[in-house]
Structures are given as C-alpha cells and as structure tokens.
C-alpha cells in the first residue's frame, strides 16, 4: 500500500547562536526575510508540497512561532474596524493557513534527537523534515520534488545540492550512484559521510535541510549511540536506516539560502527583495545607485 506524506516536522529548538545578540530573545526562525519570518517560508513550502499537518519541535522562548500561525484577535478586529481589507487578508491567511502542533525538545540534544521528539505526533507514516534555516527558491517547491520521488520509490529521500571545492567539508555528503532516467538528479545512497575533508569527500552531493523519511527512522534514532555531549545526529540515524531500507538523494532544482548564517541571510534578503512584486523595482534601482 502506498502512503501519502502529510506531516511536516520543523526542528526549531536550536539556540541560534550564530545570530546573537539578535536571537537572545527572538527565535531565529522569526527573523524576517523581506516581509515574512524565516519559518513561514518553510511552512508555505510544506503546504504547497501537499502537507497539511505542521509539527514544530521547539524549545524555551520559541512561543512566537506558534503565535505567528494562530489568530491575532485584537489585530484582526482593529483592521476590520478600520476597513483595512488587504492587511486583514494577510493576517487571516496566516492564521487560517494550517494546523500546527508543537512539542518541546527540553534539552537541545541534536537534530536527530529533535526529530525523535516528534515520534508520537508523526506516528507510523512517512513524513517530511524541513530545517527552517534553509530558505528555498524553486519553481517546484523543493519538498514537492522529494515527495514526487518518494511517491515513485516508497523510500526515504534526502535533498542535496552540488557543492564544489573545499566548502564540501561543511556538509554531510552522499556516497551514491546516479539512478538512470532522472536527468542525473537522483542517486541511490550507499553511505553518508559527515563533514569530510575535501580529499575524502565521496561526491559533491551535499545534504541540505529537506528530507522525506520513513517512520523506521525513529527506531534507528532510538538505537544509535549519542555523541560525546549526549547529542543524537540525524546522519547517524540515516546511516542506521540504510541497513534496512533503500535511500535516495535528490539534487533539487532551485536555489537554497542558508538563512541561519549571517551572510546567507543577507543573500536571501537581497535576492528575494529583488524578486518581490512590490519592492523589486525600487530595490533594484536602489542597489544600482550604490555603484559598488
């Protein structure tokens, strides 16, 4: 029996230390890129990919994320009273967008542990994982591209991008062979190597923050050994899953911004502002006037 991917898990319990002091009180996921908080890009992508249940794995001080997708009664009342119809629509669209469930990861014990924290909310079905830091710009949503592969293969699929040169050492990397018939984008994975030296990297396919996983990953995460600081790495769980099931990498079509990093955040802000329907033309003129 084939299964549909309905649930999208957003691990968002990290401390966001690369953005201090901005993230001392405000969750990193709530920093705005142009006019939307980072988390909203991921949630919109999940919904456009067919997911209708959003699961946030949060930590202390992250309540603003849940509030953002809730009704804001006073705001909506005020906008209604002032006949600000367009703004009211914007506010309502977000609150009516989606059902959100959230669960606390009490101690940030790693990405693998964050995913495991969502086990009971996910249950025994395939699900998506989206790291909110990765803001995607793609004609077909990145997650949709993975789900299309999942629907064909009924196996876990990890998004990748090509990373050339020494920068590969910052990523998990696929050891994999291309699957014929997918324009060289689909790979059957034989191993995953975390942050290899450039010389040792088995390929230039770097793992990025989108996954479709089968529920067996939970059992695998429960049985791997934590690292020195008690952290559970998702990559270790995926490697364990490979012993039981096939797993694919898909080099997605589109652009990824690492908005969890200051430079990546600025790139996302500038490029998405340039493409923005209202702001784009004026912002383009402004950038040209800088004559850098």
Report which of 168, 135, 110, 122 is spatially closest to residue 46, judged by C-alpha positions.
135
> Is the dihedral angle over the CA atoms 10, 15, 18, 22 positive or is it negative?
positive
User: Does 105 sit near ligand UTP (CB under 6 A)?
Assistant: yes
Report which of 229, 230, 210, 233 is spatially closest to residue 221, judged by C-alpha positions.
233
C-alpha pair distances (Å), 42 with each of 125, 132, 137, 240: 21, 6, 11, 27
Binding ligand UTP (rule: CB under 6 A), the pick from 94, 131, 147, 217 is: 131
Binding track, positions 39-58, relative to ligand UTP; x by CB under 6 A = ------------------x-
Please state the closest distance from residue 269 (CB atom) to ligand UTP, in A: 17
Q: Which stretch binds ligand UTP (CB under 6 A): 43-51, 126-134, 221-229, 264-272?
A: 126-134
Q: Name the residue with the smallest CB distance to ligand UTP.
A: 14
Q: Which stretch binds ligand UTP (CB under 6 A): 33-41, 129-137, 163-171, 180-188?
A: 129-137
> Is the dihedral angle over the CA atoms 169, 171, 176, 179 positive or is it negative?
negative
Please state the closest distance from residue 242 (CB atom) to ligand UTP, in A: 21
**Looking only at residues 165 through 224 of this chain, which bind ligand UTP when binding is defined by CB under 6 A?**
none
Binding ligand UTP (rule: CB under 6 A), the pick from 118, 133, 210, 256 is: 133
Return all residues near 79 (Cβ < 8 A) that are at least 6 apart: 87, 88, 91
Binding ligand UTP (rule: CB under 6 A), the pick from 30, 40, 46, 113 is: 113
Please state the closest distance from residue 215 (CB atom) to ligand UTP, in A: 19
Q: Which stretch binds ligand UTP (CB under 6 A): 6-14, 159-167, 181-189, 198-206?
A: 6-14
Contact 109, 231 (CB under 8 A): yes
Cα–Cα distance between 196 and 153 in angstroms, integer?
28
User: Does 62 sit near ligand UTP (CB under 6 A)?
Assistant: no
b/e for 259-268, b at 16 or more Cβ within 10 A?
A: bbeeebbebb
User: Does 103 sit near ligand UTP (CB under 6 A)?
Assistant: no
User: Does 36 sit near ligand UTP (CB under 6 A)?
Assistant: no
> How many residues line the site for ligand UTP (CB under 6 A)?
20
Q: Is 55 exposed, middle or buried (0-12, 13-18, 19+ CB in 10 A)?
A: buried
Binding site for ligand UTP (CB under 6 A): 11-18, 57, 105, 108-111, 113-114, 131-133, 260
């Amino acid at each position: 029996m084939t299964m549909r991917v309905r649930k999208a898990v957003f691990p968002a319990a990290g401390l966001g230390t690369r953005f201090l002091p901005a993230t001392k009180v405000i969750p990193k996921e709530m920093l705005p890129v142009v006019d939307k908080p980072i988390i909203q890009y991921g949630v919109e992508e999940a919904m456009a990919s067919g997911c209708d249940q959003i699961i946030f794995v949060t930590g202390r001080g992250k309540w603003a994320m849940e509030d953002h997708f809730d009704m804001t009664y006073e705001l909506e009342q005020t906008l209604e009273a002032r006949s600000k119809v367009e703004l009211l629509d914007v506010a309502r669209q977000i609150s009516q967008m989606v059902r959100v469930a959230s669960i606390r990861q009490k101690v940030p014990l790693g990405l693998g542990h964050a995913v495991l924290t969502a086990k009971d909310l996910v249950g025994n079905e395939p699900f998506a994982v989206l790291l909110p830091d990765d803001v995607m710009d793609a004609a077909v949503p990145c997650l949709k591209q993975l789900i299309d592969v999942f629907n064909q293969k009924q196996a876990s699929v990890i998004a990748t991008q090509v990373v050339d040169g020494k920068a590969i050492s910052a990523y998990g990397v696929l050891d994999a062979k291309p699957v014929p018939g997918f324009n060289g984008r689909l790979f059957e994975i034989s191993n995953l190597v975390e942050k290899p030296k450039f010389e040792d990297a088995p390929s230039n396919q770097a793992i990025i923050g989108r996954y479709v996983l089968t529920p067996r990953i939970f059992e695998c995460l429960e049985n791997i050994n934590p690292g020195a600081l008690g952290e559970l790495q998702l990559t270790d769980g995926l490697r364990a899953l490979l012993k039981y099931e096939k797993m694919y990498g898909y080099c997605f079509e589109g652009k990824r911004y690492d908005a969890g990093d200051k430079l990546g955040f600025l790139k996302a802000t500038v490029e998405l502002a340039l493409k923005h329907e209202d702001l784009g033309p004026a912002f383009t003129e402004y950038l040209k006037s800088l004559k850098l």
